[in-house]
Structure 1
Amino acid sequence: MKKSLLACALLAATVVAPVQADTLLGAYVGAQAWNMGVEGGFSNEGSSLTDFTFDDKTNGSFYVALEHPVPIIPNIKISRTMLDTTGITTLATSFEFNDILYDATTNLNTEFEMTATDFILYYEILDNDLVSIDVGINGKYVDGTILVSEATGNRMTSEDFSGVIPMGYAKIELGLPFTGLGLYAEGSFLAIDDNTASDFQAAVTYSFVETLALDMTLQAGYRAMTIELEDVDNLYSNLEFSGVFVGLEFDF
């Protein structure tokens, strides 16, 4: 009798364990295509900030997150976004960059390459089918290169830069029961002295696959990122990246 009870218990544990594991640990990954427009400019220390003309580009963003039920340990999300663009600008005034002076009316080619990697630690303070709210902190690591060159001529110069921007983080999700539709708004923000940075996005979502093992959700929304920084590796910037995006998320 005892052996039969033990065998039944082991069988029940074998069947139930995978279901419990799914409820104890969750993961989701996603990718977005962002049709990004860029406005603003940059300079070195001691030079006036110059606005440049940039082309609209479609860049990619990827993220992965791990969630668990342990109260005191935060969940983690890592996101990486490419912010690459080019442009041609006719200078209205003279512009000095890395000790090279470009005169007014000069046509400058500009290549801007940057990646932003977000390391987010957050807590779920509310989580149900109707409303989900996350709050936490974000360390946004920016790393890039700016290259300027004369459209006609041999003079060119570049500037590498990198740094970590500490930011607050929050996200809210709203679900519409029995429809598969939802809404979310997510953002990070910093304002310290003359440094201001923000990264906000909002989207409509549609969950078209819902199973015990996997959910798949489409996203369509708008994202805006601003980086206004004083002296990051001798670079001063006032840049805004904004535009619509579409995405796909897998929830395991």
Structure 2
Amino acid sequence: MTIRHPLAVIGVCALGLGSMGAAHAALGFNVSLGAGIWSQQPSGFVHYTTNGQQSSDVNLKNDLGLGSKSQGYAWIDIQHPIPVLPDVEIRYSRIDTSGSNVLSRTISYGGQTYTANQQVSSQLKLTQTDFIFYYQPLNNIVQLRLGLDVKALSLSADIKSGNQSSSASGTAAVPMLYAGLRANLPLTGLSAAIDGSYIGDGANYFADYQARIAYETAIGLGLQAGYRQMELKVGNSKIDPNGDIKFKGVFAGIFYHF
């Protein structure tokens, strides 16, 4: 499953919802949308076995030289007055980082062998759009969210050196359990929240969670800042690329609530 131009979709939704904010409030809709920057620090390893040639566990930092990078994210949250239907939040984020390094050891990846002291360049991309469907069994000063996060993602991990190259990519739609908790400080505009999504069996799992604080003005404009960590661990050689990939770091953004 591949989601094309989700930022454009969110932008169109934002324009339409912004022009009808008063009408939505009258109908019982509660809408928030925002965007910001996430400082991503990569760690872990990736491997890609092909044609029966076993891949090395290629370290993202030590072997490939991938470093931290800041990139954008966007989201829109729509709550409606129909009790039997879940509320919906859509989140979009993108990881696109590259590096260059002289190998200190010989590695195998995608049917190619790269020897020690060889210069390699690499690129790792992970694009994801989360469709979160949730209910709020508790919705007062403290808000509890429980539901399902369908994460549509596209992953690629490429290595090149001279005439050698190895390229692996894949797409998937991953259903994950979702839970979130938020607390508001009355009369201050301040709030704190934590939420996360998870699927796995211990040995293989996908986890994505964040904690944040926010300040919202009387006109609905606000700021948020927090910390996000995402980890994908897949040891099944039938799924390529796979490995244990982690991205973590602080984020900050702006939002509007109407």
Q: In structure 2, what is the equivalent of residue 221 of structure 1?
A: 226
- Alignment pair present for 1:169 and 2:178: yes
**CA RMSD between the two structures:** 1.9
Percent identity (aligned) = 28
- TM-score, normalised with respect to structure 2: 0.82
Per-residue Cα deviation, 1:160-183 (whole angstroms, up to 9, x for no partner): 211122211111111111211111
Contact persistence 1:185–1:201 (CA under 8 A)? yes
- TM-score, normalised with respect to structure 1: 0.84
Contact persistence 1:91–1:108 (CA under 8 A)? yes
Match of 1:104 among 80, 104, 116: 116
Note the residue ranges of structure 2 that are not aligned, 5 or more in a row: 1-21
Matches within 5 A, 1:166-205: 166-192=175-201, 194-205=203-214
Structure index of larger Rg: 1
DSSP-derived class of the 1:22 partner: helix
Q: In structure 2, what is the equivalent of residue 137 of structure 1?
A: 148
DSSP-derived class of the 1:55 partner: coil
- Alignment pair present for 1:33 and 2:45: no
The alpha carbon displacement at 1:191 in A equals 1.6
The count of aligned residue pairs is 228
Contact persistence 2:169–2:240 (CA under 8 A)? no
Q: Determine the C-alpha separation between the residues in 2 that align with 1:148 and 1:202.
A: 34
The alpha carbon displacement at 1:95 in A equals 2.0
Q: Determine the C-alpha separation between the residues in 2 that align with 1:44 and 1:207.
A: 46
Note the residue ranges of structure 1 that are not aligned, 5 or more in a row: 1-17
Contact persistence 1:52–1:89 (CA under 8 A)? no
Q: Determine the C-alpha separation between the residues in 1 that align with 2:24 and 2:76.
A: 22
- Alignment pair present for 1:116 and 2:128: yes
Match of 2:243 among 232, 237, 246: 237
The alpha carbon displacement at 1:133 in A equals 1.0
Q: Which has the higher strand share?
A: 1
| C-alpha distance 156-20 of structure 1, shift in aligned 2 (>3 A) | closer
